[in-house]
Amino acid sequence: MANQSTIVQSFPAEEAGDSARAAGNTDTLLRAVEKVARLGESSSAYDALSDADALAGQKTLARAQHELDTRKAWMAKTLAQRSRWELGQSGLAAQQGHLSPESLIQELTGGTKAETRKLVDVGRMLAETEEVEARNDEAARGLLEALDPEDPAANPADQPVTPEPLLWHAPIARAVNDGTLSIDAAHALRKGLGDIDTVVTASVLAEALATLLAKAASLNVDQLLKEARHTRDGLDADGIRVREQKAWDDRYLRIWTLETGQVRVDGLFPPEQGEFIKATFDSLTGPRRGGVRFVAAERAAWARRVREDPRSTTQITCDGFIDLLTAGTTVNPDEMLGGRRPAVQILTHGGFSAGSAATGHGYLEGNSAPVSPETIERLTCDAGTVEISFDEFDRPLDLGRERRLFNRAQRRALAARDGGCTWPGCNRPPSFTEAHHLDHWLSDQGRTDINQGILLCRAHHLLVHNQGWKIFENDGRYWLRPPATLDPVQGPIELHGQNRLRRPG
């Protein structure tokens, strides 16, 4: 296993003696901030730097960021420990109305989900290492306390305490704590080397890690991740079947909506599926990328059309995949889609008008980006419309207590009104939500009326019931009241939902 002497700095020293931790100094962050301050206090001051000072200044900024990142990992570890799953609703994240420490930290930092997950992953690695080291220290102290200085013969000298083996990735945690390895590099090493199994044991990974840590200073994060993955492959050349199964198990396709209303798709596919996708891409765009000289005569006209198409290659790919999806949903919707063909629902203002003098605008359900009258007319020309009318308080379709569950028409109306989960900061669309009775059906004799229902995703629905949050309605406006354990004042928080068509309160 690597010792601390094998862990080198990820950033070169800017001056003699700058290896502060190696020298035992504790003010590394303050020193880094002072150096940043000396660069200047405005953009024009940076422009005035010489080339040499600008290059050195970039290293100074990196050093300061590195110091901050180390402390961010420490804090992430602390917050994750206080929010661990076994604490349940008493965990720190849950007390603050969050489902995970990642969600809590993202709100506090304003970072992306990927950055936050990486931070928490590294923080948990620090916590695991510290727990093992703490247990070893406690066992060693227990042995010392058991010694009898007056009767050495009675001491258990023949039964020494065997320290608990350190985790193979403990050197990564030490390097982060020492400030000699960045958060991104630590995550790359841990992710690239993977987990232990019957072939790649902890000792094997520890030895490989020692080699990679010695190279860390000369590699950027992307290179380090690639090197770690290559190392892992080399350690288990006989485990092809295992790696194939893992590649299959790891497949995913994620879809989410950006703040602009655009929808991003991210996927990971095993080789066999991935190569089929690549072959489809080649079929769609081959003439654009490879020319038409070697295309069969019967396909030459098609190839020329693709080559001369005014769209970019990536736009052709995008439109081609949508065409394939559209065609695919018509083949056997009963088998794959449960008889329900995909549909896009459009919400419009009461003053919206179509035709040559179209005015106003609308929204696609679950999406915050407005759409023009022309787009609405195009999307509805062959699909028809379903009108949902609201009263002055946005309340349609009441059912009283004749039914406990909101029916399909009501769910459609709730989706149109709320736009998805109404919990502050949650962007789950209507299809991922449940209808919550403001007055509980059993205990409060709640009614299945629109004004007594609100959409919450499953996780926030559980949070409301388990922690004692309350939601109430007043003249068409909905308010969230925290439990007294979180906010003694229980100040109400207005819920606005995601529907951009709703009138402001």
Q: How many CA atoms lie within 13 A of 429 on its CB side?
A: 14
pLDDT score of 95 more than 80: yes
Integer angstrom CA distances of residue 404 from 210, 240, 398, 417: 61, 53, 12, 20
Q: Percent of the chain having pLDDT more than 90?
A: 13
Q: What is the pLDDT of residues 456-505, one digit of tens each?
A: 888 788 788 778 788 888 877 888 888 888 888 888 888 877 665 554 44
State the pLDDT at residue 397.
42
Helix (H) / strand (E) containing 79: helix 51-81
Residues constituting the chain: 505
DSSP state of 359: B
Q: Please state the separation of Cα 424 from the chain's center in Å.
A: 17
Q: Report d(CA 250, CA 180) in Å as an integer.
A: 32
| Paired sense of beta strands 470-474 and 370-371, if any | unpaired
Helix, strand, coil percentages (3-state) for the chain, rounded to 5, are 50, 10, 40
Confidence of residue 209 (pLDDT cuts 50, 70, 90): very high
Task: Give me the numbers of helices (H) and strands (E) for the chain, helices first please.
Answer: 18, 10
- In terms of Cβ atoms closer than 10 Å to its own Cβ (0-12, 13-18, 19+), residue 233 is middle
Query: Average of pLDDT values for 201-218?
Result: 90
Q: Which amino acid is at 112?
A: T
Q: What is the pLDDT of residues 414-446, one digit of tens each?
A: 887 788 888 888 877 787 788 887 765 444 444
End-to-end CA distance of the chain: 62
**Of 477, 458, 455, nearest in space to 466 by CA:** 458
State the pLDDT at residue 430.
81
Instruction: Tell me the β-bridge partners of 256.
Output: 264
Phi/psi at 474 (5° precision): -145, 110
Q: Is the pTM of this model over 0.75?
A: no
Contact 365, 501 (CB under 8 A): no
Confidence of residue 11 (pLDDT cuts 50, 70, 90): very low
Helix (H) / strand (E) containing 471: strand 470-474
State the pLDDT at residue 150.
63
Confidence of residue 181 (pLDDT cuts 50, 70, 90): confident
Q: Please state the separation of Cα 103 from the chain's center in Å.
A: 9
**Rounded (5°) CA angle 95-127-122:** 90
Q: Which amino acid is at 499?
A: N
Q: Which one is predicted more confidently, 37 or 311?
A: 37
**Which structure tokens are listed for 127?**
């916590």
Q: Report d(CA 66, CA 69) in Å as an integer.
A: 5
pLDDT score of 399 more than 50: no
**Of 203, 207, 200, 264, nearest in space to 236 by CA:** 200
Confidence of residue 38 (pLDDT cuts 50, 70, 90): very high
Contact 81, 127 (CB under 8 A): yes
Contact 472, 479 (CB under 8 A): yes
Instruction: Tell me the β-bridge partners of 436.
Output: 454
Query: Average of pLDDT values for 133-159?
Result: 67
**Which structure tokens are listed for 321?**
């995949």
**Of 250, 235, 166, nearest in space to 199 by CA:** 235
Q: Report d(CA 67, CA 159) in Å as an integer.
A: 43
Query: What average pLDDT does the chain have?
Result: 75
**Which structure tokens are listed for 166?**
């350190």
Instruction: Tell me the β-bridge partners of 162.
Output: none
State the pLDDT at residue 210.
92
Lowest mean pLDDT among 91-100, 326-335, 433-442, 495-504: 495-504
Query: Average of pLDDT values for 334-345?
Result: 58
**Which structure tokens are listed for 469?**
């949050």
Lowest mean pLDDT among 161-175, 194-208, 333-347, 405-419: 333-347
State the pLDDT at residue 213.
92
Q: Report d(CA 326, CA 341) in Å as an integer.
A: 10
